[in-house]
Amino acid sequence: MPATDMTITDQEREHPTQQAASEVTADTAVDTAIAYRSPTSQQVKHVSARISLRAKLLEIWHSRELMSFLVRTEVKVKYKNSILGFLWSMLNPAMTIAVYFIVFKIIVRSTVPRFVIYLFAGVLVWNLFSSAVTSATSSLVSNSGLVKKVSFPREVLPISEVGTACVFFSFQAIVLAIVLAAFGYAPAWNYMWLLIPAFLALIVFTAALAVLLSSINVYLRDTHHLLEIVLIAWFWGVPIVYPYSSAMGALSRHGLGFLYLMDPVAPVVVTFQRAIYAIVSYIPPGSTTRVFTLPTGGQMWFLKLDLGVLAGSIALFLISLIIFGRIEGNFAEEL
Amino acid sequence: MDKNNSIEVHDLSKRFKLYHEKATSLKEKVVNFRRSVFEEFWALKDIDFYVEQGETVGIVGRNGSGKSTLLKCVAGILRPTSGEVLLRGQISSLLELGAGFQPELSGRDNVYLNASLLGIPVKEVTKRFDEIVAFAELEHFIDNQVKFYSSGMYVRLGFAVAINVQPDILIVDEVLAVGDETFQAKCLDKIREMQRNGTTILFVSHSPDLTKKVCSRAVVLQEGNMVFIGEAKDAIDSYHDIIIEQKLLDAESSRNTSGEDKMITIESVSLKSPTGQTVDRIDSGSSAEIAVQYGAGSGLDDCVFIVEIQNDSGTIVFSSNTDSLEYYPTIKQGTGVINFTIDTLPLAGGVYMANAAIRKRGTSNDYDRFDRACTFKIIAPGNNLGIVETPVHVKLESLNNTVSI
Ligand SMILES: Nc1ncnc2c1ncn2[C@@H]1O[C@H](COP(=O)(O)OP(=O)(O)OP(=O)(O)O)[C@@H](O)[C@H]1O
Ligand SMILES: [Mg+2]
């Protein structure tokens, strides 16, 4: 199937039309009854085959306003007509945390101190990732009306789902900050700045998956269901509920430690925990051996890890855009 | 791209895959992998035309001829299979009004959302917001949720957004058919205003009159091929020829004459020229004969024969019956023909259909009825709008002498 595309050809911009159009205006200016309007934009839009990645990125960049409207709509509509409204977006992580706390702290008797904070830091990151990817995957299908009838860069749909997830992420982050303040809990201030590269890496990775999976889901509706299952397993592959060091220890014994951090979400989660939870190691009561919860690396170790994820994610994002561009020509027919 | 052109369509073709049963799950895809269950279908074949800046070009054709597909390719919603479209300027499309509306949001939020879907910056919308609302006549409802709008209100808001943001190119697909009459008139006024301001318009309508009124040129599509491009009235003429040639409007095939045993049935209806030949086109103002052939199972003397002529929008423009002509035929068993001779048929040019019915006198029950039994074309020299075509004389009379300076 030949993929076809729309590009804005830049060379057309300095086409002599600008001049021609203004001549028309000058001519008709004499006849004041007709205010002849020259096209507001002299860009020539080109609907045909193939696309340059640059044009695609530019298109997305120019759709910022649209994305912000889509995010606002989504946020407004999501909890409309529900009594608790926004509170629902808090109740979901609250419940997750409560369940794991009960299971691991009370039933399994984990010795990790301040377990709630540990959980919260990880769940915060995981929720952003999983909710964004889940809703983005079905975004093209659930907005098929738009895709079939309105012309706009379609990448905007999955990407704005990531934006929506970020909005809920920030609400949850505020709650986390309040919890920290209420307990007088001291995060690792000197690691705080690492949240920025970590967050960026997470967003880009999430957006890359969002774009890729949403387009595949148009052709294979299984994608959505498959994703839900994969996410369940993935959750346990990331040190959210159990400490990083225990999984790392087990894997390292088989020389597989590097694999653990190959998962792009894990480094982000670990960075968040390092900055927010900050307890790298502790001595369990009634024991003399020190137990490690978090990687012992310094700031640079974390930074390298996050920048690595960021670089990989940017590459994946570009690849996703290319794949999306190749198959989007048929979206309007397939839906 | 030529500097005078707003839209250039070069050798555009669009192929669809028609799936018999579409596989959208992995299992189905794998199972059906070898024997792919689709047919190729070319909805558009080598379409090539241009629209100059400020020009309005219509697209006419039967259902399924590819009009909407062409507009969608131009609007960038569908990607052409081959060929290309070049566009200059901001484009706004009225393919489906209110397509981007989010029912849970207020009209106000939807105006912004819809405009930004069309690629219009927020400050532009803010500037024109009042204008948009006023045009849609929704001042009192703009803060209500759109889901509580009537379908007309919905459409009006969609139209108002798309049209009030001053696009350079406007693409209109049959949307003028919705909304009440006053709103339709208003839309037409707005389109005219945009035409005066130099907006380029690509226009699809099923109304030949509207196409003639609004467009300077038109394209005729037939099964994905561009069979004609030229002045709007010639295009409509060529479109009508297609209809007549293919006898598309004739109901013959769909009419089920067997089944219940009727006492009398209409077997055929035909149009005859004054010389008695069966024809499918006659000149406006000439005389014509409508012949209704019937088959009677028994003798009847309470039959009223009715003939009607309707135009392409379904309006009955002429009707007559034997009772009103004070003619009371006695029908014998067997077949026969009853001829209605019309001295002059002063109809405007276009496609018409003849209906015939046989009614039981004094009741409203038809023995038989045959709608759209024959299609014919009336050829009028002027190609004027309206329903009747009749000789007119015009004269200029100067009233200068009565004006005192
Ligand atoms: N997504 C699609 N997949 C397969 N076939 C399609 C698709 N969209 C349109 N078609 C086919 O393309 C042909 C042209 O359709 P189109 O909608 O362009 O017709 P149209 O001229 O607009 O008709 P109408 O007057 O009814 O609006 C039709 O035969 C239709 O079945
Ligand atoms: Mg159509």
The pLDDT tens digits for A279-320 are 888 888 888 888 888 888 889 999 999 999 999 999 999 999
Q: Decide if A154 contacts A302 (C-beta within 8 A).
A: no
Report CA dihedral (A221, A223, A225, A227) to the nearest 10 degrees.
Answer: -160
Residues B45 and B140 in one domain: yes
Return the CATH number at B175.
Answer: 3.40.50.300
* Residue nearest to ligand 1 atom 1, measured at CA: A333
- Which residues, at least 6 apart from B174, have a Cβ–Cβ distance to it below 8 Å? B204, B205, B206
How many Å apart are CA A164 and CA A78, to the nearest integer?
A: 10
Q: Which of residues 29-68 of B touch A (CB under 8 A)?
A: 29, 53-54
Pocket test for ligand 1, best of B13, B14, B16, B20 (most atoms within 8 A of CB): B16
Which chain B residues are Cβ-neighbours of A51 within 8 angstroms?
Answer: none
Mean pLDDT is lowest, of B69-83, B196-210, B388-402, for: B388-402
The model's confidence at residue B35, banded by pLDDT at 50, 70 and 90, is low
Q: What pLDDT is stored for residue A39 in this prediction? A: 47
Residues B131 and B215 in one domain: yes
The sign one gets for the Cα dihedral A319, A323, A324, A325 is: positive
Choosing from B207, B239, B271, the residue where a domain stops is B239
Range of the domain at B219: 5-239
Sheet holding B264-272, edge to edge: B264-272, B288-296, B334-342
> How many CB atoms are closer than 10 A to CB B16?
17
Query: Where do runs of H (alpha helix) occur along A79-155?
Result: 87-100, 115-137, 139-142, 144-149
Name the residue type at position B193. E
- Does a structural domain hold residue B245? no
Chain center to CA of B61: 8
Residues B87 and B48 in one domain: yes
- Which residues, at least 6 apart from B20, have a Cβ–Cβ distance to it below 8 Å? B37, B38
CB within 8 Å: A66 and B96 = no
CB within 8 Å: B93 and A151 = yes
Which chain B residues are Cβ-neighbours of A17 within 8 angstroms?
Answer: 3, 88
The sign one gets for the Cα dihedral A21, A23, A25, A27 is: negative
Residues B234 and B255 in one domain: no
Residues B87 and B213 in one domain: yes
Residues B177 and B270 in one domain: no
Q: What pLDDT is stored for residue B254 in this prediction? A: 54
- Does a structural domain hold residue B244? no
Residues B225 and B256 in one domain: no
* Residue nearest to ligand 1 atom 11, measured at CA: B43
Return the CATH number at B319.
Answer: 2.70.50.60
CB within 8 Å: B122 and A65 = yes
Residues B176 and B260 in one domain: no
CB within 8 Å: A146 and B1 = no
Nearest to A153, CA basis, from B77, B162, B110, B168: B77
Nearest to B321, CA basis, from B358, B369, B274, B283: B358
Residues B274 and B221 in one domain: no
Residue in B1, B29, B168 nearest the CB of A220: B29
Mean pLDDT is lowest, of A49-58, A161-170, B208-217, for: A49-58
* Residue nearest to ligand 1 atom 9, measured at CA: B69
B173 C-alpha to ligand 2 centroid (Å):
7
* pLDDT tens-digit series, residues B327-385: 999 988 889 999 999 998 888 888 898 999 999 888 888 888 888 888 888 888 766 77
- Does a structural domain hold residue B335? yes
- Does a structural domain hold residue B181? yes
The model's confidence at residue A20, banded by pLDDT at 50, 70 and 90, is very low
Q: What pLDDT is stored for residue A213 in this prediction? A: 96
Nearest to B147, CA basis, from B177, B108, B116, B102: B102
- Does a structural domain hold residue B38? yes
Residues B141 and B205 in one domain: yes
Q: Which residues of A210-219 are buried (b: 16+ CB within 10 A; e: fewer)?
A: bbbbbbbbbb
Q: What pLDDT is stored for residue A9 in this prediction? A: 42
Which chain B residues are Cβ-neighbours of A65 within 8 angstroms?
Answer: 116, 121-122
CB within 8 Å: A49 and B78 = no
Residues B233 and B314 in one domain: no
How many Å apart are CA B366 and CA B298, to the nearest integer?
A: 16
- Does a structural domain hold residue B189? yes
A16 C-alpha to ligand 2 centroid (Å):
36
